[in-house]
Chain A
Amino acid sequence: MIKTQEDREDLAQEVYLKVFDKLASFKFNSKLSTWVGTITYNTCLKFLEKKKIPILDVTNKEGAESWDMLESKALGSDYSPIESYIFKKESGQVLASEIEKLPPLYKTIITLYHNEEMSYREIGEITNLPEGTLKNYLYRARKQLRESLLLNYNIEDL
């Protein structure tokens, strides 16, 4: 959620101090990791709000159209499947950098769902989002990630 390393360090420290201070108020209604996740998420939200950084950008329609064009071109071509090239392990660096470019909320839910392998319910508890909204955001986040991956590659090189 947080771009700069310095801010990440400060926030990580702040989160752990908050957890220590509020530990007595943990009601055992959820997993400890989910509770810590909620504190982390809210701390980051406050930070972003203070810095006036939006957690979600409006989707670019133009980008979606160009994606459809690129996708049909790539999937319909005789070249190897796009995933074998773009999503292969060697291009992890590129993938990480594209995830980094996503809006903070998209980056958070993508990481929690795919990296941390949390359920919709757990992510919902952390982000305070209803399951339906969360799924929609996750669909849009994945779509945006794929779009940006494809648009930043020269499709003719595939």
Chain B
Amino acid sequence: MKAEHLSDHEIQRYAFDSLECKTDVIEHMSSCSLCKKRVESYLALSNSIQDLPEPQLAFDLSNRVLTQLETTAGKRSILNYFIYSLIALGLVVIISCLFYSAGVLIDLFKSYSGISLTLVVSVALLISFGITADMLRSYNKKINMLNY
């Protein structure tokens, strides 16, 4: 057991990170009233800080931020139009390809036997389920992260 009084560092460690304290520090604390008072004093300080009221802004922040956002909204909408146009173009290309190659695809499926077709469809469904499950897991994780 420590004979001399604990240092300020050890006192604070005992008060706030007690799991990291050495055995001799814990033993000293069980018998030293002066060090106990110092620990209590730090804990009282901690409680007082916790009891302090939350700082308040003296103005309407959301109003100011929303006003600023409105000025940048125009620039954003142009970017959004560009993104939506690209998506629409992509969809048109995919639908056109499907439309023009529909005959080839139907012939391809017809040439497969029932068993191989079932196998292909089953594998495709399994992959889809896997991807969906992964997306759901990722979505839930993100929602938990946002829940502060």
Using a CB–CB cutoff of 8 Å, the interface residues on chain A facing chain B are 5, 8-9, 12-13, 16-17, 20, 28, 30-34, 71, 75-76, 81-84, 87-89, 91-92, 95-96, 99, 110-111, 114-115, 117, 135, 138-139, 142-143, 145-146, 149
B52 lies within 8 A of A142 (CB): no
Inter-subunit contact B52/A75 (CB<8 Å): no
Interface membership of B99, Cβ < 8 A? no
Stretch at the interface among B86-94, B127-135, B138-146: B138-146
In the complex, the answer to whether B61 meets A146 with C-beta atoms within 8 Å is no
Cβ B148 vs Cβ A33 within 8 A: yes
Interface presence of B37 (CB below 8 A): yes
Q: Interface size for chain B: under 10, 10 to 19, 20 to 34, or 35 or more residues?
A: 35 or more
Set of chain B residues within 8 Å of A32, measured between Cβ atoms: 145-146, 148
User: With contacts A28-B145, A32-B145, A95-B52 known, is A17 near B40, CB below 8 A?
Assistant: no
User: Which has the most chain A C-beta neighbours within 10 Å: B9, B49, B142?
Assistant: B49
Chain A interface main SS type: helix
Binding stretch for chain A, among B23-31, B63-71, B106-114, B116-124: B63-71
Closest to B10 in A: A139
> Is B4 in contact with chain A by the CB < 8 A criterion?
no
Cβ contacts under 8 Å, B77 to chain A: none
Instruction: With A13-B68, A89-B48 given, name 6 new contacts (CB 8 A).
Output: A31-B148, A87-B45, A114-B50, A138-B16, A142-B45, A143-B8
> Does A92 lie within 8 Å of B38, measured CB to CB?
no
Residues of B within 8 A of A34 (CB): 148
The answer to whether A9 and B52 have CB atoms under 8 Å apart is: no
By the criterion CB–CB under 8 Å, are A81 and B48 in contact?
Answer: no
B residues in contact with A82, CB < 8 Å: 41
